[in-house]
Structures are given as structure tokens and as C-alpha cells.
Amino acid sequence: MKKLLVLGVGNILMMDEGIGVHAVHEFWKEKEHWDETKVDFIDGGTFTQDIFFLFEKYEKLLVLDVVRAEHEPGTIYSLDEDELVQNKKQVLSLHDVDLLDSLDMAEMRGHRPSLKIVGIEPEKINWGLEMTPTLTKAFPSFMKVAKKHIKKLLV
């Protein structure tokens, strides 16, 4: 069993919605900096419950995605699963239900990894291949927070 799965989710055809996928693509460019025996980076796209079987192979899961919590666009969030479930105002993009259901299915099969989420408040989700200037500017900070959590989760 590997220590950590970093899962970037989102739709790169929908502007800011794709930030998690963009982040994973950046991590792929830096793959020589990460111990591949401990961590995998996967582009989850707009995954469904079909990927629950992946979760069984990891101790921990870090999801990178947009989070709508009615703060300023570009606000970065670090959430645990309990915070996601308890705070109905925070919505992990369109994928939160599938994510939690997938974790439940993995648990039913014998193993549920612990969940951490690094999210960012989107400015605009609409058709388009580019993130908004606000999220493009915040992207390096988003990556920095994600890297900090990855290093902490690998300990």
C-alpha cells in the first residue's frame, strides 16, 4: 500500500473548474522530486464513483479541487473530511458527493484512506480552456499549499 494519492479533479473545459487537474499536470512535470514508491499523482477529471477501487491502495488521499464557500475568488482552503461533511456552505465543486460515496465504497471493501482537501474559491465556471486571471495569479500559492500538505502527509 502506498502512502499517498494526490487526486486532481475538475473539468479543464470549464475555466476555474479545472484547477485540480492543472495542478496534477504541474506535479507530473516535477515527478523527479517525489518518491514514486510513496506517492502517485492522478488526473481524476470529473470522476465518478467508478474510481473507488483506487482508494484502497493508499493510506491517505489529498484532493485538489475548487471549493465554493462564498469567499473571495482565489481564497485557498485546507479541509479535512469532517469539515467538508459538517459545513454545508462549503461545496467541493460538483464532485463532492461522488468523492464521499467513493470513500464509503472503498471502506465497504475493506480500506478507507484518510482525506485531506486543498481547494480554492473559483471566480468563474463557464465554457473556456483558460482559468480566470484571478485563479491564474493564485495558482502558485495553491501549488505551494498543496506541496506543503503532500510533504506533511508523506511523513
Q: Record the pTM.
A: 0.92
Provide the strand spans (E) within the chain. Answer: 2-9, 39-45, 58-66, 76-80, 114-120
Domain that holds residue 88: 2-153
96 or 103: which carries more pLDDT confidence?
103
Q: What is the pLDDT of residue 92?
A: 57
- Has residue 97 got a pLDDT over 80? no
Residue 12's domain is classified under what CATH number? Answer: 3.40.50.1450
Torsions phi, psi of 77, nearest 5?
-120, 145
Cell of 154: 508523506
Residue 66: name the closest of 127, 4, 5, 8 by CA.
Answer: 8
Q: What is the pLDDT of residue 90?
A: 58
Instruction: Give the Cα-Cα-Cα angle 75, 79, 85 (nearest 5 degrees).
Output: 115
Structural domain total, the chain:
1
Cell of 77: 482552503
Is residue 54 within 8 A of residue 9, CB to CB? The reply is: no
